[in-house]
Structure 1
Amino acid sequence: MSSKINAALGREIRDSLREMRIQLSTLNHRVGSRLGLKDADLDCLDLINRAGPISPGALARRAGLHPATVTGILDRLERGGWVARERDPADRRAVVVRPVQERAADVLHLYAGMNRGIARICADYDEAELRVVADFLRRTAEAGRQATEEL
């Protein structure tokens, strides 16, 4: 493939990723609004759901937020019944945060339309193509993490 075609495709991919980021940000904002959560609260709740139980410090690092900011977010999430703070079984002096599983359906149903859309899109690709897409998205997320760390 020529470098001219690669450059054009690279621009198209970057433009599509930017548009996807905007659309996902808008979706997340609307989901958060429906749930009474700020954008950063919803982001932290997602991290807790994926990585929890997690310490507040580890959550702050993963979210790229100041620990004091995370404390405020956790206070709001706990008051809303989204998370619970518990003693860390490995170190009784430490605290971990876990998601309240009974609330997961409240979030999932708001993303049902997006999940159905992704399922329809994936149905148009074979397994080998989906593996390429999954690899691209994983590597793109990693590039974003590295760029964030460099800042």
Structure 2
Amino acid sequence: MSTDPSKIFRRYLSAGVINALATAEAAGLNATDYYALNLLDLSGPLTSGDLAAGTGLTTGATTRLIDRLEKGGLVRRATDPADRRKVIVESVARPEGLEQVLAGTRRRLGEVFEGMTEGDRAVLFRYFTQAADAYQAATEELHHPRTP
């Protein structure tokens, strides 16, 4: 196993991505649908435009995404009470069997966290918070590059 910090970090990121893809498949979802449901779970209801921005999908692809999730009974569309022209997408159910699919990952990560001191966990979760913000900012830059 490599001791190169860059490779260790890339291996960590790759393992997380591969696990998410396998989780989506085991839950009977495609990766984009799984990601969109996670985004709704983290954020709460979103406009279809915000869901498009959060997933990086075009508005047409987002409409098809919402259609699939709505047909599966996982989300519903509602009219934004503040602006009836906007559609709000809200999660109404979790995919059947998702908790069972996630159980192994949660157990294994729980074992990792249990083996850490409280201080180590505090550093790790501070990193997670700051890294998530950095990734979101970097993604925004990729979606909307600034020209010099």
Mapping 1:108-119, distance limit 5 Å: 108-119=99-110
C-alpha distance 30-132 of structure 1, shift in aligned 2 (>3 A)? same
Across the two proteins, how many residue pairs are aligned to each other?
140
Question: Percent of aligned pairs with the same residue?
Answer: 31
Equivalent position of 2:60 in the other structure:
68
Equivalent position of 1:35 in the other structure:
27
- In structure 1, the gaps of 5 or more residues are 1-8
SS at match of 1:108: helix
Mapping 1:5-24, distance limit 5 Å: 11-12=4-5, 14-24=6-16
Shift of 1:126: 1.9
SS at match of 1:65: coil
Shift of 1:104: 5.2
C-alpha separation in 1, matches of 2:22 and 2:78? 30
Shift of 1:43: 0.7
Shift of 1:105: 5.9
Q: RMSD in angstroms over aligned alpha carbons?
A: 1.9
Shift of 1:58: 0.7
Shift of 1:68: 1.5
C-alpha separation in 2, matches of 1:105 and 1:89? 30
SS at match of 1:92: strand
C-alpha separation in 2, matches of 1:48 and 1:59? 8
More helix by share: 1
C-alpha separation in 1, matches of 2:59 and 2:9? 30
C-alpha separation in 2, matches of 1:42 and 1:17? 24
Equivalent position of 1:147 in the other structure:
138
C-alpha distance 23-32 of structure 1, shift in aligned 2 (>3 A)? same
Q: After superposition, what is the alpha-carbon deviation per residue over 1:72-105, rounded to whole angstroms, capped at 9, x for unaligned? A: 111111111111111223333322111123x256
- In structure 2, the gaps of 5 or more residues are 143-148
C-alpha separation in 2, matches of 1:64 and 1:140? 19
Mapping 1:73-112, distance limit 5 Å: 73-101=65-93, 103=94, 106-112=97-103
Query: What TM-score results when the alignment is normalised by the length of structure 2?
Result: 0.83
C-alpha separation in 2, matches of 1:110 and 1:104? 10
C-alpha separation in 2, matches of 1:108 and 1:16? 29
Q: For residue 140 of structure 2, what is the amino acid of its counterpart?
A: E
Q: Is the 8 A contact 2:27 2:95 kept in 1?
A: no
Q: Quick check: 1:124 aligned with 2:115? A: yes
